[in-house]
Amino acid sequence: MATVTVGRVLAAHGVRGEFRFEYRTDFPERIGRRPFYILRDPVTNEITRVTLARVALQKANFIAGFAEFSSREQAGSRRGWLLEIDEAGVPDDTKEDEFYYFQLHGLAVVTGSGMTLGRVVNVIPGAAHELLEYEDMSGELKLVAFTRGSIAEVDLAAGRIVLQPED
C-alpha cells in the first residue's frame, strides 16, 4: 500500500495523548476528513494504524488525538513520526503544474538532452519553494530547486523530471 505523508509529529500536546504536528501537505483543510491514518517511524518503518478522535487545525501546525492514545507519554514516544494516509484516497484535484509529493518520488531526473542524472528520493518543503533531492548514478544525493527556473518539465506519464538547461 502506498501512502502520502500529511504531517510530522513535533511533540505531545496536553495530557490526553494528543499530538502536535507540522503540516506536510499543501491541503491542510483535508486533514480530519477521514477517520483512519497511519503513524510511521521514518527510521524503522514501524507503523501504527490509528483512528482520528479529534483534530484542531492551526495556522502553523495542527493538533490531533487518536483513539489508540490516551496519555502524554504514549504520544511523546512518537516524536518525529510521520502521519500518513492511503494514496488511493487522495483526490485527483490538482491543477496544471501542481503535484503531490508522492507523485515525484522515484521519477527519473534527466537533462534536456535526455541524459539520466538520477532518481528523486525526497521532496523537502521550504519557505520559498520545495527542493527535490535525487540520488545520482554514483549514489550521491543532490538537491535541485523545484521551481520553473530549474525544472523544464514534469512528465508523470513518462516518469521523468527534465531540468532546465544550464546557462
Do residues 63 and 126 share a domain? no
Do residues 68 and 11 share a domain? yes
Show the domain range for 120.
101-163
Give the gyration radius of the chain's Cα atoms: 18
> Does residue 96 form part of some domain?
no
**pTM of the full predicted structure?**
0.60
Structural element, H or E, at residue 116: strand 116-124
The reported pLDDT for the residue numbered 11 is 92
Q: If you average pLDDT over residues 5-33, what whole number do you get?
A: 87
Here the CATH number for the domain that contains residue 72 is 2.40.30.60
Q: If you average pLDDT over residues 80-96, what whole number do you get?
A: 74
Do residues 109 and 80 share a domain? no
Count of other CB atoms within 10 angstroms of residue 39:
21
Do residues 123 and 50 share a domain? no
Do residues 119 and 61 share a domain? no
Distance (Å, whole) CA 83 – CA 25: 11
Number of domains the chain contains: 2
> Does residue 120 form part of some domain?
yes
Do residues 8 and 62 share a domain? yes
Distance (Å, whole) CA 138 – CA 144: 17
The reported pLDDT for the residue numbered 132 is 92
Domain termination residue (choose one: 66, 89, 112): 89
